[in-house]
Amino acid sequence: MSTSRKGSMMKTPDIQRRKVLTIGSFKLGICHGHQVIPWGDLDSLDMLQRQLDVDILITGHTHQFKAYKHEGGVIINPGFGTGAYSSITYNVNPSFVLTDIDGLRLVVYVYELIGGEVKVDKIDFKKAQPVG
C-alpha cells in the first residue's frame, strides 16, 4: 500500500494534508508536518496525535529522524532519504524507516547514514490489549 502526503513545496491541490488509516489493529495518522508549530515539537505532535485519535503518528518536515514512544502511542519522523538540509539545520543524516505491523506489535526499522556507514536500529512497540 502506498499513500502520499502533500509537502510544503508541492503545488498539487488534490493531495490531502493529512490521512488516517487503519492497518491491522493500529490507527495511523500521516501528515507532512509543516502544519505543526513549532516544527518537530513533541508537545505539538502529541496534540496532533490526540486530535487525529491515532496510535501511530508519522510526520516529517524537519528532515531529521526522530521516534518517540509517547502516551501509549508512537510518533515517528522518518527523516529524509537524501539528507538534504532543512531550514532548521544543515547537519542532516540521510534516513528512512520501514514499519512492520503484526497484530498488536509494531516494529520500526530505522536506516541512517552516519559518517559513511549505514546504521540500522530497531524500535519495538506493543499496543496494549483492548479491555473487554
Residue identified by cell 508519522 is: 58
CA distance 118 to 120: 7
What is the rounded average pLDDT for all residues in the chain? 77
> What is each CA distance from 81 to 8, 12, 53, 58, in whole angstroms?
17, 22, 28, 15
In a domain, 39, yes or no: yes
Residue 119, pLDDT above cutoff 50 = yes
Per the CB < 8 A criterion, the answer to whether 64 and 79 are in contact is: yes
What pTM, to 2 d.p., does this model score?
0.72
For 65-72, what is the mean pLDDT?
A: 77
CATH number at residue 69: 3.60.21.10
Higher pLDDT, 81 or 20: 20
What does the radius of gyration of the chain's CA atoms come to, in whole angstroms? 15
**Which amino acid is residue 121, in one-letter code?**
D
In a domain, 10, yes or no: no
Query: How many domains does the structure of the chain reveal?
Result: 1
For 47-75, what is the mean pLDDT?
A: 80
In a domain, 11, yes or no: no
In a domain, 65, yes or no: yes
Q: Which domain holds residue 27?
A: 18-126
User: How is residue 61 written as a grid cell?
Assistant: 518536515
